[in-house]
Structure formats: C-alpha cells, structure tokens
A and B are shown apart, each in its own frame.
Chain A
Amino acid sequence: EDKVVQSPLSLVVHEGDTVTLNCSYEVTNFRSLLWYKQEKKAPTFLFMLTSSGIEKKSGRLSSILDKKELFSILNITATQTGDSAVYLCAVERGGSNYKLTFGKGTLLTVNP
C-alpha cells in the first residue's frame, strides 16, 4: 500500500522565520511528487518534482526531491501571514492504473 507521511503535523512560526516541511513516501513505481497549498478552500498546486536533486523554486518557496532516501522538503523563507495554510504532499504512482496518494498535510500558522 502506498504511503505518504508528512511532518510536522502542525507548526507555528513568526513572520520572517524560515520553515522546512517534510514529506516521506513509500510507493510502487514512483512517477512524481506534488506539493499543494490549501487555505480555507480547495488545494492549489505549488510544485511537481520528478527527478532527484533538482530544486524547484517559486519566489520564497522552494522544494527538492531525494528519490534515493524517498523524501521531499518544502522550504518557505521570510514567511508571511499569507503563507498560513495546510501544505499537502502527494505521490503519484506510474503504470497503467493512475494513483495519487496524499499525506495528511502540515498546518502552518504564521503569526505577525
């Protein structure tokens, strides 16, 4: 059974702090890992990672994948209150039957 474990489950920081969110996984026939941000509504896509060691970056957010150790991290630098959200990690299995397994998410709260 495919498994995605995110840590920590919740995190409270102050504006300006840097945070690192973790996602470890076990999946048969790995194809990609995706990060989503969920505020009080639908998840929105952040990054897709398919290759080890290549950093994806968008403004203050960046992510990297380690396919050997089966984990990914999502970094947010100079956090802002607008970064407060649940961050979801999902892993896609390749092959003939599509499957995407989500972790339970990390709730990030950024206080002013």
Chain B
Amino acid sequence: DAGITQSPRYKITETGRQVTLMCHQTWSHSYMFWYRQDLGHGLRLIYYSAAADITDKGEVPDGYVVSRSKTENFPLTLESATRSQTSVYFCASSEIRARPQVSGANVLTFGAGSRLTVL
C-alpha cells in the first residue's frame, strides 16, 4: 500500500528496555521526521533526516537514536526507555523545496502514530 506506515501502533514496555518504532514510506520522499505529541506540549520534533545517512537533532532528541540506511525507512530507538518517554509518536515525510509553491512540497504527511507506554 502506498503511504506512510508506523509499527507497532501500540506498545507497552518497562523502564530500561530498548524499544524501536518503525516508519516506512513509499513515496521516496527525501525528508522524514519523528515527532512526539504530549498533552500541553503539542507536537515536538525529536529527529529528522534530509536523506539516507543524513540525520539531525530536533527539539527533544535526548534518549533517542535514529538511523536512515534506506530512503524509505526511518526507525526511532529508545535505548533505555523512561516513563517520561510515554507518548504518542508520529512519523512524517515530505519533499522540501526552497519554493514551497511546488505542489505538495513542504507539506508533511503523517503516519497513524505509535502510542508508547513505559511502565
């Protein structure tokens, strides 16, 4: 199916465990993003990637690791989960252009979200 898919959709884990959230897109978009959404904070950027093998920190990167060996995949790993990382995680992708009037450019399309609970 075309689009952007996240897995798992729901995950419960324990403090200290490693968790990986997967994100896969079929549009060959160059940019991919990971956001977390928490009540009172809105959407906050964790990491993003401009292309395969190029990643950069966002607003709240601590405790997270990303990789992008292939254009279509952008996994997010919590190396040692903490309760404060309980959240809904959204992956997104887009083409980014200097002139966003190009149709569809610079518009993030989001995955369905992954709800993570850390006990």
Interface SS, A side: strand
- Look across to chain A and name the residue whose beta carbon is closest to the beta carbon of B50: A98
B-contact 0/1 string along A18-57, CB 8 Å cutoff? 0000000000000110100000011111001010000000
Stretch of B11-19, B39-47, B61-69, B73-81 that contacts chain A = B39-47
Q: Once the chains are docked, how many angstroms separate the CA of A94 from the CA of B42?
A: 22
Q: How large is the interface on B (under 10, 10 to 19, 20 to 34, 35 or more residues)?
A: 20 to 34
Give the contacts of A81-98 with B (CB-CB under 8 A).
88, 90, 92, 94, 97-98
Contact A98 B109 (CB under 8 A): no
A100 and B108 in contact, given A31-B100, A48-B100 (Cβ under 8 angstroms): yes
Give the contacts of B93-119 with A (CB-CB under 8 A).
96, 98, 100-101, 106-113
Contact B107 A98 (CB under 8 A): no
Contact A105 B107 (CB under 8 A): no
B95 CB to nearest A CB, Å: 11
State the A residues within 8 Å of B (CB).
31-32, 34, 41-45, 48, 50, 88, 90, 92, 94, 97-100, 102-105
State the B residues within 8 Å of A (CB).
31, 40-45, 48, 50, 56, 90, 96, 98, 100-101, 106-113
